Amino acid sequence: MNRRLFLQTGTAAASSLFLLKPLTVFGYAANSAIWLGLLGCGNRGTFVATSFSNNTSAQVVALADLFADKLDAGRAHFDQLNASLGRAPIDSKLLFRGPHAFEQLASSPDVDLIQISTPPFFHVRHLEAAVASGKHVYCEKPVGIDVRQATQALKIAGLVKPAQSVDVGFQCRSAPPIAAVADRIKAGALGKIALASGYYYAPASKEKTHPGAGPDEYRLRNWLWDRALSGDILVEQNIHIIDLCNWLLGARPLKATATGGRNILTHYGDCWDNYQVDFTYPGDLHFSFSSKQFSSDSLFDAGLRLFGSAGSASIPYSGPLRITGAQPWAWQDAASTAPGSGRFAPNGAFSDNLAFADRDKERSFIDSITSGNTHNQIAAGVESALSCMMGRMAGYRHREVTWENLLAHGETYQLGLNLDQFA
């Protein structure tokens, strides 16, 4: 029985597994390679799959992408990386291109783990195929850009087999300083938390041009500025801070009011370039969130602050990360960086307090596979995505939107192009 079949038989065969050594119960010895197939060979996908290769037992054996140039660049990168790690180059038969590449990758018996790093609009469709294949899945945030996709993702969550592990790319939770402050907050170091404040001030990204690209290809390559493809900056980018707030409060917002707009950006796209959102959580706790994504200066600052009856927590991407009040605490390396001194990284390779976020996220995911203590993070990912969608809808509609309003509206975005033209 090969490793894939072994995984797929999962619990159905559990009764016959008692003779096996614990390390092989889920098909992987702790030191055997997990064969990774990367779907979406762009900035983030390449960075994360490289980090998996360097920091875990995962080995990139397959690549898939809509566009040939991205697949070629991915192959050159991972052949070089594999060679430097003493591993084989990628077999040509495990290179998949075009709009059905995700299905071909999902049906490959040579892949144990699918890493989904495509633009947000496609995440849920790709997640569905990956989960149905029985493979492990690492899916970038957001899990869905509208209510229809989020609802579909929750159905997919119910199809994950016990032996399958599915992670969502909220790596900030795994950053050692943030994990450490989270432990203290969850143990009650702040007392009753009554107010939260968050921010994500990022520069604009650069336009991606490609010779001969028509309007649809241009949109796909510049998906970040396109509401349907990205979900807008609140759902696509700011979600990291809103996810941290939900996670640390152990709750999701009940309603939101918001303003914002597109005041600076003049290039292609319909995403807003700034937001001000006021979320209300249970207990009348207010989370005031502010963001912008424009300008070419290097200013980059993101973080979250929580204020409680016994103390306050300051959790910036860069700068002192600490708790003040009755139980003061500071991350020991925090003094080495100035607040807001971080450098923006389009591929999420942040420094300072997030320096080891990806490494530790990927290790924890691979551990979940090798130990058999599998994850299913889809529902939590959906909750954070819906929280952002609620803020977005409140902004677009210029009125308060409750969680129930959002779900009842059932908002749906259309892609508005046919991917088969890229077959």
Tell me which residues touch ligand NAD (CB under 6 A): 39-45, 65-67, 70, 99, 101-102, 117-120, 122, 140-141, 169, 171, 220, 236, 346-348, 419
C-alpha distances out from residue 346 to 42, 180, 361, 392, Å: 11, 26, 18, 22
Helix axes 239-249, 378-397, angle to 10 degrees: 120
Nearer to ligand NAD, 183 or 207 (CB): 207
Closest distance to ligand NAD from the beta carbon of 366 (Å): 17
Q: Quote the least distance from Cβ 170 to ligand NAD, whole Å.
A: 7
Q: Which is nearer to ligand NAD, 231 or 253 (CB)?
A: 231
The residue written with tokens 């290097």 in the block is: 298
Tell me how far, at minimum, the Cβ of 319 lies from ligand NAD, in Å.
19
User: Residue with the closest Cβ to ligand NAD?
Assistant: 42
Q: Which two tokens stand for residue 159?
A: 């199809």
Minimum distance from residue 376 beta carbon to ligand NAD (Å) = 19
Strand order in the sheet with 322-325: 329-330, 322-325, 311-316, 301-308, 193-202, 285-293, 274-281, 255-261, 401-402
Cα–Cα distance between 294 and 367 in angstroms, integer? Answer: 38
Tell me the C-alpha to C-alpha distance, in Å, between residue 322 and each of 63, 250, 319: 41, 20, 10
Q: Which is nearer to ligand NAD, 302 or 401 (by Cβ)?
A: 302
- For 256, half-sphere exposure in the C-beta direction (CA atoms, 13 angstrom radius) is 31
Nearest-approach distance from CB 75 to ligand NAD, in angstroms: 12
Q: How far apart are CA 314 and CA 190, in angstroms?
A: 11
Chain centroid to Cα 356, Å, comes to 15
Task: Give the residue with the Cβ less far from ligand NAD, 220 or 256.
Answer: 220
- As measured in angstroms, the least distance from the Cβ of 250 to ligand NAD is 22
Could you tell me which of 27, 19, 20 has the C-alpha nearest to residue 1?
27
> Is 89 strand, coil or helix?
coil
Question: CA-CA distance, 397 to 258, in Å (whole number)?
Answer: 9
Give least dist CB 205 to ligand NAD, A. Answer: 8
Q: How many whole angstroms separate alpha carbon 384 and alpha carbon 378? A: 10
Q: Which is nearer to ligand NAD, 94 or 193 (CB)?
A: 94
Nearer to ligand NAD (CB atom), residue 281 or residue 350: 350
User: Least distance in Å: CB of 181 to ligand NAD?
Assistant: 19
Distance CA 240, CA 291 (A): 12
Least Å from the CB of residue 349 to ligand NAD: 8
Task: Give alpha helix (H) positions in 373-415.
Answer: 378-397, 403-409
Do 380 and 386 contact (CB within 8 A), yes or no?
no
27 or 169, CB closer to ligand NAD?
169
SS3 category, 135: coil
CB of 140 to ligand NAD, least distance (A): 4
Residue 170 CB neighbours (<10 A): 22
Q: In terms of CB distance, is 65 or 383 closer to ligand NAD?
A: 65
Residue 58 token pair: 């995962």
Nearer to ligand NAD, 119 or 391 (CB): 119
Nearer to ligand NAD, 175 or 285 (CB): 175
- Partner residues linked to 65 by β-bridges: 97
Q: Which residue has the tokens 């509609």?
A: 397
CB of 16 to ligand NAD, least distance (A): 38
C-beta of 122 vs 225, nearer to ligand NAD: 122
